[in-house]
C-alpha cells in the first residue's frame, strides 16, 4: 500500500489511500477514521506522517477532528440556498483562525463573501450554503 521508494511523500500516500476510501464510500459520512495508533501500526509509519496525512484531509474538508474524540468523515450537510440578484458580487476565501472561532467554522471550510448591489456584505460558510442566481 505504502511505497517507501516512491517520490510521493509517505503522508501524501496515506492521505491518498484514505481519500479514495472516502470517495468510494468505504468510509461513509459520519464513519470513524482509524485512530492514529491504528494507522501507525497498519502502515508502519511514525506519528508525524500519520498526523500529517489526516491533516491534509482536514484541510480538504473531508474529515473533522476533535481532541479526545475519534476523527470522522465529515457528514455532507444540507445547503441552504442563498439568492443572488443582478449587481451582487461574490468572492471566496479561507477564514482566518479568529474568524473561524468567532463564527464556529470547521477547519477546511471556506467562506463566501457576498456583496449586495446596495453595498451590504454577507458572509456564508461554503459547506452549508449554495448560491443561486435569480432573475
Distance CA 131, CA 123 (A): 12
The one among 28, 30, 35, 133 contacting DNA by CB under 7 A: 35
- What is the DSSP code (8-state) at residue 27? S
Binding mask 47-86 for DNA (x = CB under 7 A): xxx-xx-x----------xxxxxxx---------------
Specify the DSSP element, H or E, that contains 12. helix 10-24
131 binds, among DNA, a second copy, none (CB under 5 to 8 A by kind): a second copy
Return the bridge partners of 80, or none. Answer: 129
74 binds, among DNA, a second copy, none (CB under 5 to 8 A by kind): none
Return the bridge partners of 112, or none. Answer: 92, 124
Distance CA 53, CA 35 (A): 12
Contacts to a second copy by CB under 8 A: 12, 15-16, 19, 56, 59-62, 79, 84-98, 107-112, 126-127, 129-135
Cell numbers given for 113? 463573501
- What is the DSSP code (8-state) at residue 135? -
31 binds, among DNA, a second copy, none (CB under 5 to 8 A by kind): none
| Residues of this chain that bind DNA (CB under 7 A) | 9-12, 33, 35-38, 44-49, 51-52, 54, 65-71
Amino acid at each position: 500500500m505504502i511505497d517507501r521508494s516512491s517520490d510521493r511523500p509517505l503522508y501524501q500516500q496515506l492521505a491518498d489511500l484514505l481519500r479514495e476510501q472516502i470517495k468510494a464510500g468505504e468510509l461513509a459520512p459520519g464513519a470513524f477514521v482509524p485512530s492514529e495508533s491504528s494507522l501507525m501500526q497498519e502502515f508502519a509509519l511514525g506519528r508525524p506522517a500519520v498526523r500529517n496525512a489526516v491533516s491534509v484531509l482536514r484541510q480538504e474538508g473531508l474529515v473533522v477532528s476533535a481532541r479526545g474524540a475519534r476523527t470522522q468523515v465529515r457528514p455532507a450537510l444540507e445547503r441552504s440556498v442563498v439568492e443572488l440578484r443582478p449587481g451582487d458580487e461574490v468572492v471566496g476565501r479561507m477564514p482566518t483562525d479568529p474568524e473561524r472561532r468567532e463564527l464556529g467554522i470547521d477547519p477546511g471550510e471556506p467562506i463566501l463573501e457576498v456583496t449586495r448591489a446596495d453595498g451590504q456584505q454577507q458572509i456564508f460558510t461554503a459547506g452549508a450554503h449554495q448560491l443561486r442566481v435569480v432573475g
